[in-house]
Amino acid sequence: MGVTFTETDQTFVARKEAGMLLAFVGKARRGPTTEDEGGPVELKSETDVDKHLGAGSATYNAPGIIKYVLGKGAVVKFVRAILAGTTATRTLPDIGAISALRIDARNDGTWGNLISVTIAADPSGDSALFALTLTFSEQPTLNATYYNLSMDPTLANFVENVINDVSPLIRVTALTTVRPANAGPLALTGGTINDAATATEYQALLTLFDNERYLTHLSSDSGDGTIWANQTTYCSTRATITQLQSVPFGYTADQAAQYRQGTGGYGFSYVDSSYTALYWGDVKTKRNGSVMPTPEWCHPLVLGKYATKMATGKPWFAVAGATRGRIAEGYGVSVNVLGKTAETTLTGLEVNPIVTDSDPDTGAKITKIAESLTCQRARSQRRFAEIRELLNWIKRRFLYHQTAIEFEPNDPQAWRNLYVRMKKDLDECGQNRGLDGVEGSGYQYVGDQDCITRQQATYNSQDDLADGKYKVAIYIVGQPGIRDIALNTVLTKTSAQFAEAD
């Protein structure tokens, strides 16, 4: 018996292939740390960042980076990295002084202590109903009043139903069926936080992205090598997304090289994955109208450049190494990597330096970053991120097409429908220099997509077909001399699984 896959959210179609869908783990004033708290939360605008993460500060890197990336065309799925703290809370009694309603901040942190609540009679005049006013001194724009609230769990206006899936600040729990007594404003208390999240906390949060099917990239606000190594492993396991990583601010070229070599006492495994793009370079930027440029970790700029490129909704077709791209906000570098020794140290390990050049019109120094990004250490200096982006794009398209048709794994006609859709995508790649040649030279399918009956299949065994498995090989040849990749796709009744061979 087959399984039917259908596309249920048509509004999501455009975003699936129309930009960067970035998984991001980082520190923030507020934000979900678990699935129960709403993680990962989707952020599509600065308003979303302020609503769900809170105001940024020198302590919290994530909000500033995310706002920058959003401005370049990305959508972000965010989870918050913290150590265990406590949640601010307040229990409100009914008129008989019995605990009736508990109010908790949505997640740990001292920010919850800035919340106050007021209980009042509902304007409707119904004595069984009440109104709850919420104030948050740190962000008054999030203040709200909820009317027509009931303590009866069988009603649509039950207080938990009205507030818990709406408020970005609090969750409520009805302890009885009697409404709380009028009171307030009363502050929540007891919220504490420990922001010193370790690699263990960062790694545990990655599982929250497991069901985010159409992610394009993963990153975080950390410069810790172990965290990056864990994220590399996660991307490699997912096989459809790429990690974007920047060496910590202030490192020399030799120190940056350790992120590939894994020596030097930094306490992490070396980053060696075709699912990771690694950068080095300390840039200076002019922010908030300042006159003098200030040093800044290049990571937000790298993410922003990727987001801008991804906003076209196409894979990266350009031949690797062909062009450079300017970061408009850059005004110089803290460490000049144009010295031959430093440049050789970095490029030999396929670490991408941010370099400077002179503007031909003004003669001023401008910051540039290699648009063609290498992604694998030592094995070949001709392994480029454009090729990886192209492959990941094809895999995500395969997953998308799989959900867009009714597919019976043992029905060759269903596979033929999928084959036709994939061929259209690969033809588009070939026409835009993403693949070399046409079907049969630049790419080809090997499988049983032309069979009429299951018994005619030769590429797949009858035992596999009986188990609902169907396999096809998609052979992709990149630009001449760059890379030959075999993408082996196994379709089961529940998922699409990918493996590659050089």
Which CATH number does the domain housing residue 184 bear? 2.60.40.4290
Looking at the fold, whether 344 and 205 belong to one and the same domain comes out as yes
Looking at the fold, whether 133 and 156 belong to one and the same domain comes out as yes
Domain end: 348, 363, 385, which one?
A: 385
Q: Where are the alpha helices (DSSP H) in 311-435?
A: 340-347, 385-404, 412-431
* pLDDT score at 324: 35
197's CB contacts (< 8 A; 6+ apart) are 27, 81, 82, 83
Residues 299 and 369: their CA atoms lie apart, in Å, by 11
Contact criterion met (CB below 8 Å) for 249 and 272: no
Residues 173 and 446: their CA atoms lie apart, in Å, by 57
* pLDDT score at 145: 96
Host domain of residue 181: 85-193
408 located within any domain: no
Looking at the fold, whether 212 and 338 belong to one and the same domain comes out as yes
150's CB contacts (< 8 A; 6+ apart) are 128, 129, 157, 158, 159, 179
100 located within any domain: yes
**What's the average pLDDT block by block, 10 residues per block, for the chain (502 residues)?**
35 54 93 90 93 77 89 93 90 92 93 95 93 94 95 95 92 95 94 87 94 90 84 88 82 78 56 74 64 74 82 56 44 63 73 62 52 41 60 82 72 80 80 67 79 85 82 71 62 71 64
- How many domains, in total, are found in the chain? 3
* pLDDT score at 2: 34
Using alpha carbons, select from 98, 25, 34 the residue that is nearest to residue 65.
25
6 located within any domain: no
Looking at the fold, whether 342 and 202 belong to one and the same domain comes out as yes
Looking at the fold, whether 64 and 204 belong to one and the same domain comes out as yes
Tokens of 75: 């959508």
412 located within any domain: no
**How many secondary structure helices (H) and strands (E) does the chain include?**
12, 25
Domain end: 193, 224, 257, which one?
A: 193
* pLDDT score at 307: 86
Residues 95 and 60: their CA atoms lie apart, in Å, by 42
* pLDDT score at 494: 61
Contact criterion met (CB below 8 Å) for 339 and 51: no
DSSP conformation class of 32: -
* pLDDT score at 420: 84
Task: Provide the pairing of β-strand 75-80 with 21-26.
Answer: parallel
* pLDDT score at 222: 86
Domain end: 147, 173, 193, which one?
A: 193
Dihedral sign of CA atoms 61, 66, 67, 72 in order? positive
Tokens of 143: 């203040």
